[in-house]
Amino acid sequence: MKDTKYIFVTGGVTSSLGKGIIAASLGKLLQARGFRVTNQKLDPYINIDPGTLNPYEHGECYVTVDGHEADLDLGHYERFLNAPTHRANNITTGRIYQNVINKERRGDYLGKTVQIIPHITDEIKRNIKQLGSKGEYEFVITELGGTVGDIESLPYIEAVRQLKWELGNKCLIIHLTYVPYLAAAKELKTKPTQHSVKALQEQGVQADILVLRTEHNISMDIRKKVALFCNVEQSAVMQSIDVPTIYRVPMNMQLEKLDEVVLSKMGFDLAKTPDADMGKWISFVEKLENAKDEIRIGLVGKYTQLPDAYKSIIESLIHASAYNDHKLKLELILSDKITDENVAKKLGGLAGIIVAPGFGERGMEGKFSALRYARENNMPCLGICMGMQTMSIEFARNVLGYADANSTEIDDTTTHNIVDIMDEQKDVLNLGGSMRLGAYKCKLKKHSKAHEIYGKDHISERHRHRFEFNNEYKEEFEKAGMICSGMNDESNLVEIIELKSHKWFIGVQFHPEYSSTVVNPHPLFISFIQAAIQK
């Protein structure tokens, strides 16, 4: 069995340079050459996971198939590699310290003084190598959150230094930096990159490859200068220039020969290594970039001031629009600002709407107004998680006549709780206490729109919620035309609702956006966009 190779992507100068996209792009290129690859994210915050973070703080909370609440970069990894991630693919400082403290309390360290080195760094190394220990992957590409010089990142950089020493050419360091353009001087400036590389060197780590983020093409003379001052071969200094879509980055990095340089530095004979087969990827990017017609979709939610809060939904809409030969024109609509009086003005020019997930009462009434407008005007509408729950409450209020219909999350004194807290005694709730997390099976009702969309009887989708549809109202809903077309047999959970008399009006308790990838866009989003395109 071949030894697993470990690649680390670090960042300097500034945050938000796109380490995750570079890591995912390299993973895609190596995968396209036939290698088995996975991506991992190390997050330096002390939260155990991002599940308790406000989306405005850290963007969306992504959920893996095994029920781990993870950083949104794992969504990029899955969308690029078309392969599921798991708990081991996302490690936080909080989890590292929690593991070490638990070991200390159990006496695993035999009375030793527990310190950053070696105990914290050993735990970091153990978590990094866990993905490669079973021989499933030939490459583990690990992205280090934050920037070099952050106090939170020091233990991770030290762990990387040790791994580089221990593994030799089975370990490679890619450093991503920013090369700013000073308009007054009309020059690209490399000094920030030099300082960033120097800061990395001061922590004992020498970058093998430099990727320079830039808005302007970087000349060979500048690359030569960077190589000289940063102790990196000139062929290993490459640019990552701004692009209209992140999905062009793997193709650009292939032109920069990122995969070739990585393989060469890690001892591979390029003459014996297959070329990257990027045919399907290139086809998608061409459809995305060459689409002439636009499709206007509204995303109604409570966190729309930060698009990253709905990152996976937005990317899923991009995938589905491109595959339907349309460019997505997305309008982010704050549900707090929607009322019965202004809803026609806010939604009138749209081809369809998504009602987004989100915990808590804020923005609920605006979602009800939006859903009623979509329902009464035959506008294609997809409700996701709480979007499905608000869909059911709006139906109960305005069709069934329950004016006080609500959710126990909002008001547990209401007579008609259409959405109720889950029974915490159910055996299926073994992940996250009262939170349903991860992939669960769903049986689809034959002859329903959901069955037609998926084309099969059983599906598996990822969940993240505490409340669910109250089955006491199921029969009444179906008599009024809102059928429950997807059910979890094990827990009797309503997974999908759809309005029979409507063009396209579907609510799902799960998060289909987590499963949409470039190669396999999600069928629900494909169908939703198709319905929105049809006049």
What amino acid positions are annotated as catalytic residues?
385, 511, 513
Q: Which among 237, 215, 242, 213 has a CA at the least distance from the CA of 226?
A: 237
Q: How far is CA 94 from CA 47, 49, 98, 530, in A?
A: 5, 8, 6, 43
**3-class DSSP state for residue 256?**
coil
Cα 167 off chain centre by: 30
Q: Report the alpha-carbon distance of residue 295 to residue 317 in Å, rounded.
A: 10
- Could you count the other beta carbons within 10 Å of the beta carbon of residue 245? 11
Element (H, E) at 159: helix 154-167
> Exposed, middle or buried, 184 (CB in 10 Å: 0-12/13-18/19+)?
exposed
Q: Report the alpha-carbon distance of residue 19 to residue 141 in Å, rounded.
A: 11
DSSP, res 299: E
Q: Report the alpha-carbon distance of residue 440 to residue 486 in Å, rounded.
A: 12
Compute the C-alpha angle 42/46/47, nearest 5°: 95
Q: Report the alpha-carbon distance of residue 464 to residue 447 in Å, rounded.
A: 28
- Who's near 480: CB < 8 A, 6+ residues apart? 395, 399, 400
**3-class DSSP state for residue 222?**
helix
Residue 304: phi, psi to the nearest 5?
Answer: -70, -10
Both tokens of 108, joined, read 């695993």
Question: Could you tell me if 44 and 150 are in contact, meaning their C-beta atoms sit under 8 angstroms apart?
Answer: yes
> Pairing state of beta strands 352-355 and 381-384?
parallel
Both tokens of 104, joined, read 């200390």
Question: Could you tell me if 363 and 302 are in contact, meaning their C-beta atoms sit under 8 angstroms apart?
Answer: yes
Question: Could you tell me if 273 and 24 are in contact, meaning their C-beta atoms sit under 8 angstroms apart?
Answer: no
Compute the C-alpha angle 423/425/431, nearest 5°: 90
**Does 118 sit behind a cis peptide bond, omega within 30 degrees of 0 on the bond before it?**
yes
First to last CA, the chain: 56
Task: Characterize 429-456 residue by residue with b for buried, 16 or more Cβ atoms within 10 angstroms of its Cβ, and e for exposed.
Answer: beebeebbbbbbebbbbeebbbbebbee
- Could you count the other beta carbons within 10 Å of the beta carbon of residue 47? 16
